[in-house]
Amino acid sequence: MKELSVAEFGRRLAHLLVSLFILLCVTFVIGRVLPTDPVGAIVGELADPAAYAAMRTRLGLDLPIYQQFFLYLNGLAHGDFGTAVLTGNPVSSDLAQAFPATFELATLAVIISTFVGVPLGLVAALFRDSLIDKIARVVALVGHSIPVFWFGIVGLVIFYAGLNWVGGPGRVDVFYEGLVTPQTGLLLVDSLLQGETEIFWNALGHIILPAIILAYAAMAYITRMTRSFTLEQLSQDYVIAARAKGVSPTGAILRHVLPNIAVQLITILAISYGGLLEGAVVTEIVFSWPGIGQYMTNALMIGDMNAIVAATIIVGFIFMLLNFLADVAYALLDPRMREAAR
């Protein structure tokens, strides 16, 4: 079992790396053939051809694409993602700044969607076809079909502009801007570390709405999957037997069903988490959230290829890593998988 696991682990890791390399190649090629003009964006619309050409050379865009690619790979091997046109900073330092904002948002969103979605799915399965089940199904359907963009605007109009319950766009109210020195980059954590509780509460008020809205679509998915996993288990003999022995429905769920669907749940939670990190783009734009989604969108607008490629790779890497970890967890936790391996 142990040897097989290591081999399996290695195989999956290799798979991860190959996928990542393919992603890198594809993004790079697409990035270079897009009809965008980063040079024009830097030197300005009215710059003369000489200044234009000089900047083109400085960015290395006059080289053949394969040479650009090798130069890029070479830089990458030294941990250098190149310089971002947009900011003039090394892309890695830009990403180090933008990523925590997205990470904070997505993590809160995955926590919310798990703590709401899983119980809701369980309850819906337990009281199949009851009112609560119908509500859960409608909630899930709505979450799946209404665009995040629309939700974001409506949420702001109601809870921010109308009811004044939450903070507006941005990570914190403007007059608190710049008062917390980034340490981890996670504003909620940093403000607490620096004893700025007022800013902590303010930041919490700002993150809660985008996090809920971002969480909603994921929650819909988690609810639906939990419900169907649970229903499947509820019809199994062992649950029926347990119920016959007088175990309450709640007891059966907690003691028997939950442990059995845990592995499947981990997989979908991991997928959801990856999806949240990746899918924060629209939410970040609506909420003026200075995260990786907004960074990528702006980079795309001006054809800032170093930024786009690096951000795509980071997001892709996280997505693949989460899938990889889910696979590993699956193999480690699921008794049937262990059986099969043996």
Partner 1 sequence: MKHFSKGLFVGAFVGALTIAAPLSYAATLKDQLVIGTSLAQVLSLDPHQATEGKAVEIMSNLYDRLVNSTPDGKIVPQLAESWKVDDKGITFTLRQAKFASGNPVTAKDVVYSIGRLLKLDQAAAANLKRVGYDKNNVDKLVTAVDDKTVRIDFSGQVTAEMLLYRLAASTTSIVDSVEVQKHVSDNDWGNAWMRTHSAGSGPFTLNRWSPNELVILDANKDYVTGAPKMKRVIVRHVPESQVERVMLERGDIDVASAMTAADLATFKDKQGFTIQRIPTGGFYVLSMNAGNQYLSNPKVREAIAYGIDYKGIEKTIMGPYGRARNVPVPENFESAIPNPDWPLDVEKSKQLLAEAGFKDGFSLTLKTIAQTPRIDLATAIQASLAQVGIKIDIQQGNGSEIIAAHRARDFDLLIPQTSAYMPNVLGSMEQFSSNPDNSKEANNAGNFVWRSAWDIPELTALTAKASMEPDAKKRGELYVEMQKLFVEQKPAVLPMFERFEPIVLSSKVQGYVGHPTQLTRLESVTKSEAQ
Give the footprint of partner 1 on this chain (CB under 8 A).
Answer: 34-38, 40-52, 85-88, 94, 97, 123, 127, 130, 132, 152-153, 156-157, 159-161, 164-170, 173-175, 177-178, 201-202, 204-205, 208, 249-250, 285-288, 290, 294-295, 298, 300-303
DSSP state of 90: B
Nearer to partner 1, 130 or 183 (CB): 130
Nearer to partner 1, 17 or 130 (CB): 130
Q: How far is the CB of 113 from partner 1 (least distance, A)?
A: 15
Nearer to partner 1, 20 or 47 (CB): 47
**Residue 221 burial (CB < 10 Å; 0-12/13-18/19+)?**
buried
Nearer to partner 1, 275 or 291 (CB): 291
Question: What's the token pair of residue 257?
Answer: 């069903």
Q: How far is the CB of 160 from partner 1 (least distance, A)?
A: 6
Q: Tell me how far apart the alpha carbons of residues 135 and 164 are, in angstroms, rounded to a whole number.
A: 27
Q: How far is the CB of 225 from partner 1 (least distance, A)?
A: 20
- Note every long-range contact of 314-320, with CB atoms under 8 Å and residues 24 or more positions apart, other chains counting: 314/95, 314/99, 315/277, 315/278, 316/20, 316/23, 316/27, 317/20, 318/274, 318/277, 318/278, 319/274, 319/275, 319/277, 319/278, 320/16, 320/19, 320/20
Q: How far is the CB of 219 from partner 1 (least distance, A)?
A: 14
Question: What's the token pair of residue 109?
Answer: 């969103």
Nearer to partner 1, 185 or 338 (CB): 185
Q: How far is the CB of 205 from partner 1 (least distance, A)?
A: 4
Indicate the SS3 state at residue 35: coil
